[in-house]
Amino acid sequence: MPEKRTIMIADDDADIREVVKILLESEGFLVVEAKDGDDAVNKISPEIDLYILDVMMPGKNGYQVCREIRLSNSSPVLFLTAKSQDSDKSMGFSSGGDDYLPKPFSYTELTARVKALLRRYYVYGGKSESTGEKIILVKELSINKDSCEVKIGGRDVQLTDIEYRMLLLMAENRKKVFSAQNLYESIWNEPYFYSCNNTIMVHIRNLRRKIEPDAENPTYIKTIWGKGYRID
């Protein structure tokens, strides 16, 4: 991973922005600051490698900013917020976020999350050497492992990093049933807790909305009741 990655920190609390900026710059990152949601939207750029968004901001909130980001790119989004209920996490993932760090947070955990998100994004973003089959075809669905492009019937499908990795995992292991625990531990590389099941359900729902002709009657990602999910 190149030494200089650019990160946006969007928070209406100037003290938090300053602390996070100093922390990230000490780790070798370039930092762009946004004082609220509207400022963050105005500063969305292909040059930004990762976004750290507070949820509760004047103007557009963090979820709305994340949706704006997803209109143009798939850079990782980390929500940094005092809201930590499962329903809040689900809303964050539904809007296209990749990770969620409740306040108060430790600086060690913040830098670890940032580095992990960037590492996963660039490894699975075609920056690493790929092996085996380059194009995976499932009916009208195609996944190019070199470019990480996903298409349905020739139409480009924009996925987040997490969505792409989840889809690729199941497509590379067709007919294998993945439980929520299998998916969570494979994608997040963290221990699974029962509350994580909701996180998986939200990502599956988002994936179906993007790739299925009818998300209510999926033909790609099948639910195997009581067991998990699979792609045939």
Architecture per CATH, domain 6-127, reads as 3-Layer(aba) Sandwich (3.40)
| pLDDT score for 85 | 59
| Pair 184, 131: CB distance under 8 Å | no
| pLDDT score for 60 | 92
**pLDDT single digits (tens) 78-134:** 998 776 555 666 677 778 888 888 888 888 889 988 988 888 777 655 333 334 457
| Domain boundaries, given as residue ranges, for the chain | 6-127, 135-231
| pLDDT score for 68 | 92
Low-confidence ranges of the chain (pLDDT < 50): 1-2, 126-132
- Sheet with 50-53, strands from edge to edge, namely 30-34, 6-10, 50-53, 77-81, 99-102
Q: What is the DSSP letter of 178?
A: B
* Block residue for tokens 């922390």: 23
Q: What is the DSSP letter of 151?
A: E
Query: Residues for the chain: how many in total?
Result: 232
Kindly list the distances between the CA atom of residue 178 and the CA atoms of 120, 162, 215, 223, 229, in Å, as whole numbers in the listed order: 21, 15, 19, 10, 5
Angle between helices 161-172 and 196-211 (to 10 degrees): 80
- CATH class for the region spanning 135-231: mainly alpha
> What's the predicted TM-score (pTM) here?
0.62
Let me know if the fold of 6-127 is the same as that of 135-231.
no
Separation of alpha carbons 29 and 112, rounded Å? 13
| pLDDT score for 126 | 36
